[in-house]
């Protein structure tokens, strides 16, 4: 939504009495010297001495132009540091114009090797955009790399600068330079900062300074991008024309979104009426059935193309005719059909909580990337641009975070919307499960085990498997079945397999992978004893043992339950000598309420051993203070994975 619709709003920033200005040009020291970083950073592969970001808005003729400058100095300590900085990647898209770029290596003995600009190359990424890259010569341990570049890029009045990275930063700054009439606001996230304003002539400079920024390494079960130090900024006032009137508010975005998504002609309405009549949706009676039928039909018969941005390609007439739409066109189609059917809904915009989220108190429209439909009567959602998700499931990272709900309102015959920022609720954790039902039986020779296993996935986990199964060819499906069988039996010697409820539409049923395998890997002989590696029957488990202190809170994709039931037929003449190894109880309660746990127990009746395991995580976010308990529970599943039962002759 963002990249297309925000173009509608740039007209707000074109005013009278504009005049040309000169940008602040970046420079570097004529005679650089190697910095001393001290023993504190001796084990770091690289240390960023300086990281300076500058965003400057200037008046050029009748437009406001935006220039971006990045300037870094990096001290290299070892081979890993050399590997990370011997090539410099410039975040310059083909829509931007390079104003200046300079780079150099300063060797430990003071020699300066400057970049030959002819060595700057273009590379094309998977997103289709072309970027710049260049290699630096002369890097060695103890050297420094310095580079800066300035680009003129498409003007936007929202921004984000992520200032933390894997390497520590001694000093960093972010500054906005703009005409005095344009009043921006800056907000820091995950870090302390106090923006300072300075007025120099007709230019106002807002600056944030940071020192001693620690390096941040990626950690398991953590949303790396969202936890990094960053600042976000937005234009809030234009004193030249609309003094005192706040710009780019959430209400304004809601009005704009409503206007864009409900734009269709009488001819479009007639085509939608014909579509509804042809599919007999109005006769379904139940509103949920109508929503499900419409979503399944569109996602089976229409294609979604995120790169389709043109007005013509997103007109409702074009979408219906060509059966393909971009974000705007696809949402318009759903909207028009729901309106025809009398289904109450709200447009919702959301961010990705794995990266950046909507903040009620700070109107950064750049964080409103993804569209949803919300149905108040059901308190449920659909994700129109995700063909792999079906009502009521949405992409989990778009939920359990704030959303911009566009609540429609009417003034006479005029309809618009107002904004309501509130959480987007995911489905209850109990509805998402990854279960195993497995029966293990030794053969007569006691040298292999038949494993009859059902892997049962419901709710959010089922989507990934349905997605993989539906978009795979036959060879890929066979590989997938082998890998899934191997997860619970440690072998791909498959005797039988079937996948049940694999259709996307089967959201009311779990996806089931049923396999029978013959496994010699789960049993070993040790003299007159048999060793049963029963722990492997729950599949590979994550281990969390780390030497460094945890830096980030615990984030998981969605709350869920994992129940495993394992039945093992004890062979005649044998007994299990260590059944209590199967008993693990590791749980955590927050203010008396269970929020996560791993509990395993067993029962022996006659010659049948039954093991029941429940592992659950009821939240998507656990604070850093609860990480030790989370780690214990994760490791409890890993500990069970290692359980080996000893079968002795009676």
Where residue 3 falls among pLDDT bands split at 50, 70, 90? very low
What integer is the mean pLDDT of 403-410?
93
10 DSSP assignment: G
- Residue in 590, 60, 596, 159 with CA at minimum distance from that of residue 364: 159
Residues 444 and 414 in one domain: no
Q: How confident is the model at residue 127 (pLDDT cuts 50, 70, 90)?
A: low
Q: Is 31 found in the same domain as 82?
A: yes
Domain end among 393, 423, 453: 423
Is residue 332 a contact partner of residue 201, using CB atoms and an 8 Å limit?
no
In a domain, 632, yes or no: yes
Which CB contacts under 8 angstroms, 24+ apart, belong to 497-502? 499/469, 502/465, 502/466, 502/469, 502/470
- HSE-up of 396 (CA within 13 Å, CB side)? 19
**Is 620 domain-assigned?**
yes
Among residues 423, 452, 483, the one where a domain terminates is: 423
d(C-alpha 332, C-alpha 328), whole Å: 6
Would you say residue 317 has pLDDT above 70? yes
- Is residue 463 one of the residues assigned to a domain? yes
Residues 351 and 388 in one domain: yes
38 pLDDT higher than 90: no
Q: What is the mean pLDDT of the chain?
A: 93
Q: Which CATH number does the domain housing residue 19 bear?
A: 2.60.40.3140
Residue 151 lies in a domain: yes
More confident of the two residues 130 and 416: 416
Q: Is residue 3 part of a domain?
A: no
The reply to whether 601 and 572 lie within a common domain is yes
Residue 339 pLDDT exceeds 90: yes
Alpha-carbon torsion angle 314, 317, 322, 325, nearest 10: 20
CATH number at residue 606: 2.60.120.1130
In a shared domain, residues 322 and 305? yes
379 within a domain of the structure (yes/no): yes
pLDDT in tens, 256-277: 999 999 998 999 999 999 999 9
**pLDDT for residue 447:** 94
Q: Which residues contact 328 (CB under 8 A, 6 or more apart)?
A: 1, 4, 5, 260, 261, 314
363 contacts 404 by C-beta, under 8 angstroms: no
- Segment 288-304, tens digit of pLDDT: 999 999 999 999 999 99
The CATH number of the domain where 331 resides is what?
A: 3.10.620.30
% of the chain surpassing 70 pLDDT: 96
State mean pLDDT over 15-26: 58
1: in domain: no
Full residue range of the structural domain in which residue 282 is found: 250-423
**Is the same domain home to 214 and 267?**
no
Residues 417 and 473 in one domain: no
The whole-number pLDDT of residue 6 equals 40
Taking only the tens place, the pLDDT of each residue in 374-399 is 999 999 999 999 999 999 999 999 99
Note whether 216 and 360 are same-domain residues. no
Tell me: the pLDDT tens digits for 510-569? 999 999 999 999 999 999 999 999 999 999 999 998 778 999 999 999 999 999 999 999
Q: Mind listing the pLDDT tens digit for each residue in 340-368?
A: 999 999 999 999 999 999 999 999 999 99
pLDDT digit string, tens, across residues 433-470: 999 999 999 999 999 999 999 999 999 999 999 999 99
Looking at the fold, whether 395 and 433 belong to one and the same domain comes out as no
Taking Cα atoms as reference points, which of 25, 55, 61, 65 lies closest to residue 177?
55
pLDDT for the residue 207? 95
Domain end point (choices 362, 390, 423): 423
Same domain (yes/no): 275, 203: no
What is the domain count for the chain? 3
Residue 85 DSSP label = H
Domain identity same for 69 and 213: yes
**Residue 203 and residue 289 in one domain:** no
pLDDT, average across residues 485-503:
96
The neighbour count for residue 420, using CB atoms within 10 Å, is: 16
Cα distances (Å, whole numbers) of residue 170 to 44, 81, 194, 211: 13, 16, 18, 5
């Amino acid at each position: 939504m963002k990249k297309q619709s925000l173009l509608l709003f740039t007209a707000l920033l074109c005013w009278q009495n504009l005049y040309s200005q000169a940008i602040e040009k970046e420079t570097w020291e004529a005679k650089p010297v190697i910095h001393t970083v001290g023993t504190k950073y001796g084990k770091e592969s690289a240390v960023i001495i300086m990281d300076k970001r500058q965003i400057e808005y200037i008046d050029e003729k009748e437009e406001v132009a935006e220039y971006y400058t990045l300037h870094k100095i990096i001290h290299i300590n070892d081979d890993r540091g050399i590997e990370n900085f011997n090539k410099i990647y410039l975040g310059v898209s083909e829509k931007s114009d390079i104003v200046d770029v300079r780079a150099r290596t300063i060797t430990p003995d003071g020699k300066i090797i400057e970049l030959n600009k002819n060595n700057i190359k273009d590379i094309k990424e998977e997103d289709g955009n072309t970027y710049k890259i260049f290699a630096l010569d002369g890097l060695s341990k103890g050297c420094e790399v310095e580079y800066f570049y300035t680009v003129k890029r498409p003007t936007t009045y929202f921004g984000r600068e992520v200032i933390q990275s894997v390497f520590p930063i001694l000093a960093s700054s972010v500054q906005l330079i703009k005409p005095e009439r344009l009043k921006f606001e800056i907000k820091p996230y995950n870090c302390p900062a106090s923006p300072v304003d300075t007025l120099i002539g007709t230019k106002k400079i807002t600056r944030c300074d940071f020192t001693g920024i620690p390096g941040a390494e990626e950690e398991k079960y953590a949303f790396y991008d969202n936890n990094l130090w960053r600042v976000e900024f937005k234009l809030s006032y234009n004193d030249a024309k609309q003094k005192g009137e706040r710009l780019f508010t959430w209400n304004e975005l809601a009005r704009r979104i409503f206007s864009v998504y409900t734009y269709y002609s009488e001819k479009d309405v007639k085509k939608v009426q014909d579509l509804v009549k042809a599919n007999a949706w109005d006769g379904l009676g139940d509103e949920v059935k109508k929503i499900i039928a419409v979503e399944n039909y569109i996602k089976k018969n229409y294609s979604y193309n995120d790169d389709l941005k043109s007005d013509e390609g997103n007109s409702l007439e074009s979408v219906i005719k060509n059966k393909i739409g971009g974000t705007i066109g696809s949402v318009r189609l759903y909207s028009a059909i729901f309106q025809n059917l009398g289904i109450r809904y709200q447009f919702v915009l959301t961010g990705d909580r794995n990266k950046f989220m909507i903040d009620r108190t700070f109107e950064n429209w750049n964080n409103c990337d993804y569209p949803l439909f919300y149905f108040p009567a059901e308190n449920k959602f659909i994700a129109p641009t995700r063909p792999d998700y079906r009502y009521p499931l949405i992409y989990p990272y778009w939920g359990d975070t704030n959303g911009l709900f566009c609540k429609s309102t009417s003034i006479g015959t005029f309809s618009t919307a107002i904004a309501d920022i509130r959480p987007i609720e995911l489905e209850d954790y109990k509805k998402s499960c990854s279960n195993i039902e497995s029966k293990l039986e030794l053969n007569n020779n006691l040298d292999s085990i038949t494993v009859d296993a059902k892997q049962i996935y419901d709710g959010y986990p089922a989507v990934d498997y349905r997605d993989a199964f539906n978009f795979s060819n036959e060879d890929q499906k066979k590989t997938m079945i082998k890998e899934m069988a191997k997860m619970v039996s440690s072998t791909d010697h498959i005797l039988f397999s079937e996948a049940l409820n694999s259709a996307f539409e089967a959201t009311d049923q779990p996806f089931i992978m049923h396999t029978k395998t013959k496994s010699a890997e789960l049993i070993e002989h040790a003299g007159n004893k048999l060793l049963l590696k029963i722990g492997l029957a729950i599949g590979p488990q994550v281990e969390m043992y780390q030497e460094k202190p945890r830096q980030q809170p615990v984030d998981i994709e969605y709350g869920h339950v994992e129940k495993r039931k394992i039945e093992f037929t004890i062979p005649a003449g044998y007994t299990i000598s260590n059944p209590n190894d199967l008993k693990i109880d590791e749980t955590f309660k927050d203010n008396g309420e269970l929020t996560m746990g791993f509990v395993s127990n067993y029962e022996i009746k006659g010659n049948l051993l039954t093991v029941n395991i429940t592992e659950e995580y009821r939240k998507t976010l656990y604070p850093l203070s609860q990480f030790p308990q989370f780690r214990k529970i994760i490791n409890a599943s890993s500990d069970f994975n290692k359980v080996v039962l000893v079968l002795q002759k009676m």
